[in-house]
Structures are given as C-alpha cells and as structure tokens.
Amino acid sequence: MAALGAAWHSESMAITYRDAGVDIDAGEELVRRIGPLAKATRIAGVLGDLGGFAGLFAVPGGIDEPVLVSGTDGVGTKLEVAFATGVHDTVGIDLVAMCVNDIVTTGARTLFFLDYFASGKLEVDVAEAVIRGIAEGCKQAGCALLGGETAELPGMYKAGTYDLAGFAVGIVGRRALLDGSRVQAGDVLLGVASSGLHSNGYSLARRVLTGAMGLDYGALVADLGCTVGEALLKPTRIYAKAVAAVIARTGEGLHALAHITGGGMLDNIPRVIPKGLAPRVELASYQRPALFEVLAKGGPVEESELRRTFNLGVGLVVVVSKTAVSDALDALTQAGETAWVLGEVVRSDSEETLFL
C-alpha cells in the first residue's frame, strides 16, 4: 500500500484548498469590500480596526452599576425568499433587528454587533450585499459592526444558499433595567407597528402563498400593492432609537417592553407581565395590515393560528403607566413610529394574552 501511495502522488498534481472547494482569495476580496461598510458604523468605544482576532470595545463610563445584555438570533426561512428572488441586501437588516429588538426590551443601549455568514461556495457579490444590509441595520440601531466570520463550507450548503446568525451586546444600569417588575394592573399597552411579518412565521406564510395560493414571488397582489416577494422581504423595523426616545421622555413611567416575535402577541407580551396579571389586547384598536388578511383567506389559516404565529402588525408593545401614555405616544411618533393604545394590563390568572 505504501508503494502504491508513493506512485500515486508522484504522478498527480498537488491538491489545493481551492480544489477542495474553499477560495481564500474570494474571502480576502470580501474582507476588502466590507471594511468600509464596517467603518461607517463605527461609534465611540470601538478600539482598533477589522482584521484582528477579536473585536474590541471599551465599556462606556457614567453608568451606575452597568449590566451587559446580550442576544443572538438568525433570519430563519425568510432566507428562502432571498434565495428565490436574488434580493440579498435586506436580510442583513433583519438579522440585526432580531437581536437588537430583543436587547432593547431590557432598556439597554446596543453597543456592538457581530455576524456569522456561512455558505457552501462563497459568492462575493452576494455576501457583500448581505453584509451591506447588516451595516445598514447597525446604523439604524446606533451600534457598531465590530466584526464577524465568513465560513466557506463545501458540501454543507446547496449552491446559491447560505445561513446567517448574529450576536449583539448592549449595556444598561442595574436600576434602569426593565424586567417587568414595575408592571401593575391598570397599566396601558401601546402598540408599535411592524413593517410586515418581520422574520417570523415564514414557513407558514410561504406554504400559503406559494403552496395553497400557487403564487410565485414575482406575482403582483392587488391587496398588497406589491409583489409577493416584495411583501415578504420588507425588512424588520429596528426599534432601538424609538425605545431610547421613550425612556428619555417617560423615565420611570415606562414599565416594560415586549418584542413581538415567534408566538405573536399571544405568547410574547406575557413574558414581561408578573403573575396575577395579564395583558388584554383590543384587536379593534388598529387596522390589521392586508398581508395578514391575505394569509388568513388564502390558506385558509384560522384566527387562533394567526395569533400564535404572526405579529399581526404589532412589532413592539410598550407598557406604561396611565400618566405616561401621552408622553410615550409623542416620543414614538417623533421617532418615526406608528403607535396607538392597544390595550391594558388587568388582574387575571391567565398566562396568555387576552384578546377582545
């Protein structure tokens, strides 16, 4: 066997990493392209530049008993829509949003973000578009794109596909931490509009639209005023600046924040409501976006399933005291959000959201 091995190597060309499916040159080209994107997100506290083994960030001063807050997430099967349409410059915004919107519910300010991009074969143009979206998301959130990882993994991903994950870190003073303990009966729930599905429920949405309804992503749907692909790829709203505005305006009048992700309002609002209390939502308080009506009729999808899967047009719920309602609504509106009185906190032993 040893002699056979020696003969084989003597008659064959040496195998390179590129032959095995990994293109180091492509990776270096991507790093060159994304350098300016990351630099554009630089904020006070960032130390050093891209290219090191780790990202560096100085802990901000002037915060009483600082607490670091972290969050990680992905984009899920919304990526399938990006693959099918060839539109890759918005899912990066979703990636940042899903991490940052969780962090800000604690009252924290997001400091920095890191991403992980993996594909079977690195397509530099596609990866650059994705990371351009990530950088845009960081700008919207007011945080730095501190670093990331690009992995080329031959054989693990189908051609033309990739996966995304993200990680963010924020900071808040211990006494300013929002954990739901301030919430009491009589508090008011404010709804803040979503931009659409955000990044949840896509397996069901695609099953309805491209399966039961037989639509392709380029199909124009009159009720939506856009194509199926455009409706599904609307980026998740990032609420960091709006939350900061509410905190500055209401102070201790802000009692809790709930990011409406998987599980919808049904499961997510109770996560910040103490035992013995329950959130009561008045669905008639706002006009549900057309996309959810299309999904309901096109499936059909039962109302109970809609409530436990989708955000139904509400991306964030702000819980405030009655005396802080006006200030909170003004702050949200001035921050560019659409907000309204969605309901209230009531005494109840229910562990789910009550709907009227």
Q: Note the pLDDT tens digit of each residue in 213-232.
A: 999 999 999 999 999 999 99
Confirm whether 41 is domain-assigned.
Answer: yes
Considering the domain architecture, whether residues 97 and 201 belong to the same structural domain is answered as no
Are the beta carbons of 143 and 111 closer than 8 angstroms?
yes
Alpha-carbon span 274 to 24, nearest angstrom: 52
Q: Which of 176, 199, 224 is the last residue of a domain?
A: 176
Domain hosting residue 309, numbered range:
188-355
Model confidence at 1, pLDDT cuts 50, 70, 90, reads: very low
Alpha helices in 179-335, H assignment, sequence order: 202-206, 228-232, 240-250, 264-268, 290-298, 303-309, 325-334
In the chain, how many domains are there? 2
Tokens linked to 130: 């994705």
CATH number at residue 85: 3.30.1330.10
**Whether pLDDT at 17 is above 90:** no
pLDDT tens, residue by residue, 102-148: 999 999 999 999 999 999 999 999 999 999 999 999 999 999 999 89
Q: How far is CA 43 from CA 25, 110, 273, in A?
A: 30, 11, 34
Higher-scoring residue by pLDDT: 49, 108:
108
- Residue 12's pLDDT is what? 60
Share of the chain above pLDDT 70, in %: 96
- Residue 294's pLDDT is what? 96
The dihedral region occupied by 226, where left means phi > 0, alpha psi between -120 and 50, and beta the remainder, is: beta
- What average pLDDT does this structure show over 62-87? 95
Are the beta carbons of 45 and 144 closer than 8 angstroms?
yes
Considering the domain architecture, whether residues 88 and 152 belong to the same structural domain is answered as yes
**Whether pLDDT at 7 is above 70:** no
Model confidence at 9, pLDDT cuts 50, 70, 90, reads: low
End-to-end C-alpha distance for the chain, whole angstroms: 77
Considering the domain architecture, whether residues 128 and 235 belong to the same structural domain is answered as no
Are the beta carbons of 165 and 125 closer than 8 angstroms?
no
pLDDT tens, residue by residue, 224-276: 999 999 999 999 999 999 999 999 999 899 999 999 998 999 999 999 999 99
Considering the domain architecture, whether residues 192 and 155 belong to the same structural domain is answered as no
- Residue 2's pLDDT is what? 46
CATH number at residue 328: 3.90.650.10
pLDDT tens, residue by residue, 135-176: 999 999 999 999 899 998 998 999 999 999 999 999 999 999
